[in-house]
Amino acid sequence: MINHSFKLLLAISLILATGNIFAENADGQNVNQVLSSADKALPMEVTVNGAKGGSWLFIERAGALYVQRDAFEEWRIVLDKDVQPIEFRGQKFWPLDAVNGYKAKINFANQSVDFLFSPKSFSAVRLAKETSKPLIISPVLPSVFFNYDLNYSTSYLKAAPRIEDLSALAELGFSNNLGVLTNSATGRNLTHSKALGADTEWVRLETTFTKDLPHSNRTLRLGDAATRSGMLGRNVYFGGIQFGTNFSLTPGYVTQPIPVLNGLSSAPSTVELYVNDVLRQVSEVPTGPFAIDNASILTGSGDARIVVRDLLGRETVIEQPFFTNSQLLAEGLNDWGIEAGSIRRDLGVTNATYGPEFVSGLWRRGMNDSITLEGRSAIGSELKLLQLGVTTALPFKLLGRAAVTTAHQKKLGNGSQWLLGIDYQDLYLGAALEAQGATESFRELGQEFENSPIKSQIAGNINYYSQNLGSLGFSFARIEQYNEPSVTTFSGNYSIQIGQNSYLNLTASEVRSDGETDRAIGLSLVIPFDNNVVAGAYANSAGDRNDLYATLAKNPDQDNNLGWRLLAGQQQNHGREEVGTFYHGRYGTVTTDVSNTRDQTAVRLGANGGIIAAGGGVFVTQRVNNSFALAEVKDYADIGVGIGNNIQTRTNTKGIALIPRLSAYQSNSIRLQANDLPVSAELNSIEKDVVPAWRSGVKVDFPVRSGRGALLKIHFDDNEAAPLGAIVSIENDSQEFYVGRRGQSFVTGLETENRITLTWKSLQCTIDVTLPPANEDEIPRLGPLLCKGVKR
């Protein structure tokens, strides 16, 4: 852009110019030109389609207007690359009449020009969800955690000895900056009951080291893990190494394609977006094309309606259906994983039984927003396998899936497996149909060669939801096996809301196999009441087995940790009564259940929770399945601490509190309850944000400047109050306080005996201050205190 001084010099040409200019593009008519053989420089205020466009210098040549390219960019006007500029005093200017649909009205009296461009001449504006900045992970506090789950049961049988059992599930974990190491085990028959027919034993379950790389959305696991299966595979436990993408490390990250809704505004407008007739977003757009791309709104399928309302109140309505699915990947996005190790056998039965070694990998890529390709391969000492698959969006909001797997098993030779599926999902209607089969010699990774695959199976379902008439669903499946009879099942369900919160459910099913048919029908009514109390009535019939019973339960909530449940009626043709309690507290969960039938009475007791050792302390808490924080308000006991406004716990005698259940890789706001702090306690903030790693701890320090506060009145040698703005500080304390009106300064952090310093215009004086005995209800007022040697 030419600078203002140059504009001023060129503006002399305006003195000779009067009147108005009207111009249209070269394709239009009614061109009224100012006749002049010389170029004219016209600095003017610009309005573009009713919106202010800034001040620009124009060149008028032979009745046509020219302006520098910066103006087109600021106005968002698209110029063809082949348009040639003119030169004026060493500067390049581009013609406005090269823009289709261009009109201008120049007013020389106030040095302004009003432009009107076709909306299609503007570059598109994209209304997208703001990209959040990567979060900085908080330093990990080295910690040890232990989870336990104890279950005790005893059964009093009418015709047999009493059976007693105690079992346990335990997990030990270590976390630091390197990652998280966990080891779990289960213990059975810890009461040495002979009736169970087994000795007491402890069995190791899983031992795994996990290292997350959140900034690249990848995770490394060493030890016991499960393979990624793909469309046709199955999860297999193994011991070894696993590395691959993990998009859950970025909460809110959307991997599926996001539909883009397009519109056009002829003037600056307000855009309202309705998704399935619900207003979801209101935005402001300038003139021209626009596109709405918002990950939190446009997911699934449905109908979008865009209402464009300009400054004059004129409305334009645009309707557009959209479709996407979580099984699709966004264009260019890769999802992959590799594993290497030995297949784990008899998990939960033996400590460490590992089978054949293997290497496998899975790769998925979004080729475009409609097609996602998938490949999977596995190579082992007994098996070689290759799988190819595709997921694609089809017309009419359909999603298609197809995959084929070929494998060579050492003892069985070559085999194959295939899959075809199609899904439909709309706001009120959903349906799916899937068929798959395998040859008799096909085996998957981890599948014993003695176990035959399923020869073929086909399954389908359809569900319809009506806001007034409830929801109705039907499903069927037929499975044919090589060594077993085929099985065909049909089922249906209907659910409707009764009143404001009650629900009635009806289910029916039929199973056909080997010439036999089994039918079942069920009816249930659920009625919620106030205070989290829920009542239910259930009736089921399957062959000669009948159930008819009622339940009443109260669920624990934030205000009341105690819950209970009652059951009475008939199950399996026999009377049954049950009563149970559930306490979910700060230090864990305790459950009790008593049941009585015609043949036995059973008592069950359970307890689970966790213990954390971190920061030099040991804390009892609920199960440690999430991240946690240690908040320290040093030496301040009984201070409420929690997440946001939800106070969860209080500091101990050392001023430390454990806050459980933090969300990993998300910002968690740790907050103190300000009312619990004494008036003399000073903090920079009562709230701090932390971003913990997965199942790891963070330390949150709230430094408190302790001591007492007092209002000091200070005079100079002339017996007049110290001036406004003088600075007061305590010896050996960096905190500064200002003198206010009438020479008064409120100073905190004072002890019983203090030496303070007053500074004014590079001069200082020291004053000894002694506080009276503390009184919680009063703030001491001392003075006047004499500051010697400082002049005004």
Whether the pLDDT of residue 587 is over 70: the answer is yes
Superfamily of domain 708-786: PapC, C-terminal domain (2.60.40.2070)
Q: Residue 321: its pLDDT value, please?
A: 83
Q: Residue 413: its pLDDT value, please?
A: 92
Pick the CATH number of 4-123 from 3.90.1530.10, 3.40.50.2020, 3.10.20.410, 2.60.40.1180: 3.10.20.410
DSSP tag of 131: P
**Overall average pLDDT of the 114-120 stretch:** 86
- Residue % of the chain over a pLDDT of 70: 93
Q: Residue 776: its pLDDT value, please?
A: 66
Q: Note the pTM of the prediction, 2 decimals.
A: 0.80
Q: Residue 130: its pLDDT value, please?
A: 62
Q: pLDDT for 351-390, tens place per residue?
A: 989 999 999 999 999 999 999 999 999 999 889 999 999 9
Q: What is the 3-state secondary structure (H, E, C) of 170-208?
A: EEEEEEECCEEEEEEEEEECCCCCHHHCCCCEEEEEEEE
Superfamily of domain 261-323: Outer membrane usher protein (2.60.40.3110)
Q: pLDDT for 511-548, tens place per residue?
A: 999 889 999 999 999 999 988 899 999 999 998 899 99
Q: Per-residue confidence at 315, pLDDT binned at 50, 70, 90?
A: confident
How many CB atoms sit inside 10 A of residue 719's CB?
A: 8
**Overall average pLDDT of the 459-485 stretch:** 93
Determine contact, residues 119/265, Cβ cutoff 8 Å. yes
Q: pLDDT for 735-747, tens place per residue?
A: 899 999 999 999 9
Q: Residue 34: its pLDDT value, please?
A: 37
Average predicted confidence (pLDDT) for the chain: 88
Q: Residue 363: its pLDDT value, please?
A: 97
Whether the pLDDT of residue 11 is over 50: the answer is no
Q: Residue 664: its pLDDT value, please?
A: 95
Whether the pLDDT of residue 167 is over 60: the answer is yes
Measuring CA to CA, which residue among 79, 300, 62, 347 is closest to residue 203? 347
Distance CA 494, CA 501 (A): 16
DSSP tag of 410: T
Whether the pLDDT of residue 756 is over 90: the answer is yes
Distance CA 419, CA 458 (A): 10
**Overall average pLDDT of the 487-496 stretch:** 96
Whether the pLDDT of residue 449 is over 90: the answer is no
Two domains, one topology: 615-701 and 708-786: yes
**Overall average pLDDT of the 699-726 stretch:** 90
Distance CA 701, CA 636 (A): 12
Q: Per-residue confidence at 595, pLDDT binned at 50, 70, 90?
A: very high
Question: Which single residue is written with the structure tokens 């970025």?
Answer: 250
Q: Residue 132: its pLDDT value, please?
A: 62
Q: pLDDT for 340-360, tens place per residue?
A: 999 999 888 899 899 999 999
Question: Which single residue is written with the structure tokens 């506060």?
Answer: 709
> Does residue 275 sit in helix, strand or coil?
strand
Measuring CA to CA, which residue among 129, 219, 138 is closest to residue 665? 138
Domain boundaries, the chain: 4-123, 220-257+326-420, 261-323, 615-701, 708-786
The count of residues in the chain is: 792
Q: pLDDT for 615-648, tens place per residue?
A: 999 999 999 999 999 999 988 899 999 998 888 8
Q: pLDDT for 385-415, tens place per residue?
A: 999 999 999 998 899 999 999 999 988 999 9
Q: Per-residue confidence at 294, pLDDT binned at 50, 70, 90?
A: low
**Overall average pLDDT of the 669-694 stretch:** 88
Distance CA 553, CA 598 (A): 23
**Overall average pLDDT of the 253-258 stretch:** 87
Whether the pLDDT of residue 608 is over 90: the answer is yes
Q: Residue 295: its pLDDT value, please?
A: 57
Q: Per-residue confidence at 33, pLDDT binned at 50, 70, 90?
A: very low
Domain at 615-701: CATH code: 2.60.40.2610
Measuring CA to CA, which residue among 298, 324, 308 is closest to residue 399? 324
How many CB atoms sit inside 10 A of residue 316's CB?
A: 15
Q: Are strands 278-285 and 562-571 parallel, antiparallel or unpaired?
A: unpaired
Q: Residue 730: its pLDDT value, please?
A: 93
Distance CA 75, CA 128 (A): 20
Q: 76 phi and psi, to 5 degrees?
A: 65, 35
Whether the pLDDT of residue 21 is over 50: the answer is no
User: Which of the pair, 31 or 678, is modelled with greater confidence?
Assistant: 678
Whether the pLDDT of residue 486 is over 90: the answer is yes
- Which residues on neighbouring strands pair with residue 289, listed in sequence order? 264
Q: Residue 16: its pLDDT value, please?
A: 32
Q: Residue 418: its pLDDT value, please?
A: 97
In whole angstroms, what separates CA 274 from the centre of its chain? 23
Burial category of 740 from C-beta neighbours within 10 Å (exposed 0-12, middle 13-18, buried 19 and up):
middle
